[in-house]
């Protein structure tokens, strides 16, 4: 957690943001349809990259960002979660928070998320799992943007097994979570897109490959698209 708090130190942030854009990254973003095991893939990718480089430079982040952003905003994690989940506050809740001095607008939460994620992406050697990373890191020079997909029936089966859900609950969960994730990605773009396919360098069918195979493939794609340039700038 201490590493995340560095990104809220103004001097650290200014130092990172002052870097030439030619030295941005490297960063990998992994977006996914619900039920595609993105966290396991990210963990394995980081392990492979660190083994190959002989140093623990690479790390992956997911929900850790929520705790750090909540600390920066001096609020609880639930407030940040509501933004990520797209949950609207009731008028009464907003009034109570405003009078108590605890009101934090969606705009402020969004700006803080964008600042932190962009700073982390610019510093590099990081894998983002969701969290709007693909939208925020689009301008990073050395980046690889990946989307994991799979047939609906396969994802339903995977979610049922991992979350101990019945088929109806799993289907509803997948549909709602996919909707929220699309809206989150769109929220950090200048214009809401009809689809988000253009944001990704590659889409991979999780149904067709194991976590191990996908992880090795992503490392290979990273080396092809990004790795050589990163090595040259050292």
State yes or no: pLDDT of 116 exceeds 70.
yes
List C-alpha distances in Å: 34 to 31, 58, 83, 112: 9, 25, 18, 25
Domains annotated on the chain, with CATH: 2-13+22-222 (3.40.50.300)
Residue 69: the pLDDT is 77
Q: What is the pLDDT of residues 147-168, one digit of tens each?
A: 999 999 999 999 999 999 999 9
- Ranges 6-10, 44-48, 117-121: which has the least confidence: 6-10
Ranges of beta strands (E only) in the chain are: 27-32, 59-61, 126-129, 143-149, 202-205
Residue 187: the pLDDT is 86
Q: What is the pTM of this model?
A: 0.83
Residue 184: the pLDDT is 87
Q: What is the pLDDT of residues 49-69, one digit of tens each?
A: 999 988 889 999 887 777 777
Share above pLDDT 70 across residues of the chain, in percent, rounded to a whole number: 80
Residue 22: the pLDDT is 62
Residue 18: the pLDDT is 58
Q: What band does 8 get if pLDDT is binned at 50, 70 and 90?
A: low
Q: What is the pLDDT of residues 173-227, one digit of tens each?
A: 999 999 989 988 998 888 778 788 899 999 999 999 999 999 999 999 999 998 7
For 11, residues 6+ apart whose C-beta sits below 8 A from its C-beta are none
In the DSSP assignment, the letter for residue 88 is P
Highest mean pLDDT: which of 2-16, 70-84, 114-128, 197-211?
Answer: 197-211
Residue 166: the pLDDT is 97
State yes or no: pLDDT of 1 exceeds 60.
no
Q: What band does 10 get if pLDDT is binned at 50, 70 and 90?
A: low
State yes or no: pLDDT of 89 exceeds 90.
no
Mean of per-residue pLDDT scores for the chain: 83
Burial state string for 46-60 with b = 16 or more CB within 10 A and e = fewer than 16: bebbeeeeeeeebbb
Q: What band does 100 get if pLDDT is binned at 50, 70 and 90?
A: very low
Distance CA 63, CA 43 (A): 14
Residue 96: the pLDDT is 43
Residue 221: the pLDDT is 95
């Amino acid at each position: 957690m201490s590493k995340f708090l560095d990104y809220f130190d103004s001097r650290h942030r200014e130092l990172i943001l002052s870097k030439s854009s030619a030295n941005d990254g490297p960063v990998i973003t992994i977006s996914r349809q619900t039920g595609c095991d993105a966290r396991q893939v990210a963990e394995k990718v980081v392990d492979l990259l660190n083994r190959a480089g002989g140093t623990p430079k690479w790390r992956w982040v997911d929900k850790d960002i929520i705790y750090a952003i909540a600390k920066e905003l001096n609020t609880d994690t639930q407030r940040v979660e509501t933004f990520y989940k797209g949950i609207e506050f009731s008028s009464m809740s907003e009034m109570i928070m405003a009078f108590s001095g605890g009101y934090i607008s969606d705009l402020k939460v969004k700006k803080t998320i964008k600042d932190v994620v962009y700073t982390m992406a610019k510093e590099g050697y990081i894998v983002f799992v969701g969290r709007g990373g693909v939208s925020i890191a689009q301008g990073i020079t050395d980046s690889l943007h990946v989307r994991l997909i799979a047939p609906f029936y396969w994802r339903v089966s995977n979610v049922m097994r991992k979350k101990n859900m019945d088929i109806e609950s799993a289907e509803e969960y997948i549909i709602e979570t996919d909707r929220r994730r699309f809206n989150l990605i769109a929220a950090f773009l200048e214009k809401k897109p009809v689809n988000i396919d253009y944001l990704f360098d590659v889409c991979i069918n999780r149904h067709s490959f194991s976590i191990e195979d996908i992880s090795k493939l992503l490392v290979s794609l990273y080396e092809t698209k990004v790795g050589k340039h990163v090595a040259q700038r050292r």
